[in-house]
Amino acid sequence: MAVDKPYLDIPGTTVFDADQSRIGYWLNQFCMSLMEPDNRARFLADERAYLDEWDMTEDQKLAVLDRDLNRMLSLGGNIYFLAKIGATDGKSFRTMAASMTGMSEEEYAAMMEAGGRSPDGNRYQSEWDVSS
């Protein structure tokens, strides 16, 4: 029997379920390796060569090289693991968060200051489909 995924209709959200974890295993383990200072230095010195040491798909490697967080999420990345790439780059988490929303960092910061993204209109994919 297929696993029930009653969360797939939540818009703009990737749930790190077993399928995501399975396809993202090496992407996330690569991210974990960046907790070591030596690995961070080696990665920054030659990103492609470092990525080639890992059993990741070409799409996953390109997403990392592009720092495309939404793409990494869709390819099995988990945000707590992916955050280690941002830390390696010296970026704040807010910078990373903004990059996933299609907003500038200033726009994202202003939204948070004003109380964050409202749940209204953001609970169901159908609400996003109507407005787009």
Partner 1 sequence: MSASVTASVYSSHVPALGAAIDLGKATGPYWDPVMAGYEPSKAWFDANTPDVVFLVYNDHANAFSLDFIPTFAIGTAPEFPIADEGWGPRPVPRVVGHPELAYHIVQEVIPEGFDLTIVNRLPVDHGLTVPLTLMFGQPEAWPCAVVPLAVNVVQYPIPTGERCLALGKAIGRAIRSFPGDLKVQVWGTGGMSHQLQGPRAGLINQPWDNAFLDRLISDPEGLSHMSYVEYLREAGSEGVELVMWLIARGAMPDLAGGDTPTVHHRFYHVPVSNSALGHLILEA
| Dmax (CA) of the chain | 48
Burial pattern 32-51, b for ≥16 Cβ within 10 A else e, equals ebbeeeebbebbeeeeeebb
122 binds partner 1 (CB under 8 A): yes
Q: How far is it, in rounded angstroms, from Cα 78 to Cα 82?
A: 6
DSSP 77: -
What's the closest the beta carbon of residue 73 comes to partner 1, in angstroms?
6
Residue 67 contacts partner 1 per CB under 8 A: no
Of the listed pieces 15-23, 47-55, 57-65, which binds partner 1 according to CB under 8 A? 15-23
Q: Which chain residues interact with partner 1 by CB under 8 A?
A: 6-7, 10-18, 21, 25, 28-29, 31-32, 34-35, 69-70, 73, 78-81, 83-84, 87-88, 93-94, 97-98, 100-102, 108, 111-113, 115-119, 122-124
